[in-house]
Amino acid sequence: MTRLASDADAQAVLSELRRLLDHDGPGSALAFLETLEGPKALVQQLRALGYSEAGERLRDRELLEQSIFCWRSLGPEQKSGVAYNLAVTEQALWELTAATDRVAAFEADRRHLHETRRLYEAIVADETAPSDSRVQAATNLGNSLDHGGRDVDALAAYDEALALRPDFGMAHGNRGLTLLGIVPFVAEHQPVLLHEAALELDAAIGASDEVRAVGGDRALADFKRHRSMIGGSEPETPKLPAGSPLSDPHLEWCRRHRLLLHPSLRCISDNTDPLDPVFFTGVVLGVSEDDQRRLRDLLDAFGALKQEYVSTRYLTWLAEDYASPIREQAAEVSAKVQFFDSLSYARWGVRTGLAVQAFAGAINLLDKVAGFVHLYLQTGRVRDCLFRAPVASWAALEREADG
């Protein structure tokens, strides 16, 4: 039996556990875990770590679930370290399913993905948690969002990590990779995003020792490989207009709250057209009548989504912003409507009603997005979506923009 009597003993056990995982295999590591004796919470924590790491290496769902059970028995909501490790294990369980069938993962195992993000968000928001835990949680949250296709949310999470620690190499590097993933979709704004991605990857490579310590040699090699794809030792800032307030109060409110469907808010001006350019450039389907009907249904559903989004956005502005043109008129109309005062501090009136409708519209929009995704997947014949082809280097893009 292996007796635990101090923190030093725990560190020694952890080192031995990882040595066994690396050299003797997960089986030996799991057998070693069963020999541990000592304070219940400490033994439980070490076993949780072992089950998690062995489960990832063996791709064993049962071990990962056993790890989650151990972490939860330690009270993760009160301890940021436990919460962080629980989030990592929840994420590993989600990725285990997603690696073989992503659709099935979203349908059957999305609770693990939601729990992962909830735990990371809670750690980031906990100002009493260790700074390193908050930074790593924000970065991992960004990774989870990026892998799920939520690029804008991922960038916001990386920004939060860098606000906590501006020199954190993994956040810089992963932010650069996310920007590169967006580049093929942004047409004339590619130079701006490539420039920003290059700077982020340079920052990550400049912190190579830390990147190796956190993400390993593979992460550093990945950052270097993607940086080489951009080219140039130190790209110049593209000559594009900086973001500035828009003259239209509604559009300025949208810009300020990052609600425009536009990839590069710094490039937006009153002359930008369109401001919500998200659309399909092309969808490849067959020529049969059924294929064409599916295509029309898909494009109509996408158009309906955009319509619902911009309408709900506009309604929210009317109800919320001080510059709303209906503010005074709504107050006058509300004053002529008699409401019973229940003394519950409820605020009845036209703009309150609009705000409620806007909130309901936003919730309905989320349902419609889910419906659109199912429609896309159920077509069964969609083979590809065509966007602007990526270009190998930032310099080539700038030449294209100039010419």
Reported confidence tier of residue 221, pLDDT bands at 50, 70, 90: very high
Residue 142 CA to residue 146 CA, distance in Å, equals 6
- CA-only gyration radius of the chain, Å: 26
Residue with more model confidence, 157 or 343:
157
Residue with more model confidence, 286 or 100:
100
Residue 50 CA to residue 18 CA, distance in Å, equals 8
pLDDT (tens digit per residue) in 88-104: 999 898 888 888 877 77
Stated as kind and residue range, the H or E segment containing 282 is: strand 282-284
| Residue closest to 98 by CA, chosen among 90, 88, 109, 87 | 109
Q: With a cut of 70, say whether residue 23 has pLDDT above it.
A: yes
| Residue closest to 200 by CA, chosen among 226, 220, 172, 178 | 172
pLDDT (tens digit per residue) in 44-68: 888 888 888 888 888 888 999 999 9
Which whole number is the average pLDDT over 21-41? 82
Least confident among 145-149, 154-158, 262-266: 262-266
Domains of the chain in start order, with CATH, are: 2-176 (1.25.40.10), 249-402 (no CATH)
| Residue closest to 139 by CA, chosen among 127, 150, 155 | 155
Reported confidence tier of residue 315, pLDDT bands at 50, 70, 90: very high
The answer for 184, left when phi > 0, alpha when psi is -120 to 50, beta otherwise, is alpha
Q: Which residues pair with 282 in a beta bridge?
A: 386
Is 139 in contact with 121 (CB distance < 8 Å)? no
Residue 39 CA to residue 5 CA, distance in Å, equals 8
Q: With a cut of 90, say whether residue 378 has pLDDT above it.
A: no
Most confident listed range (27-31, 101-105, 125-129, 369-373): 125-129
Give the pLDDT score at 400.
43
Give the pLDDT score at 385.
46
Most confident listed range (126-130, 269-273, 287-291): 126-130
Look up residue 23 and give its DSSP letter.
I
Model-wide pTM > 0.75 = no
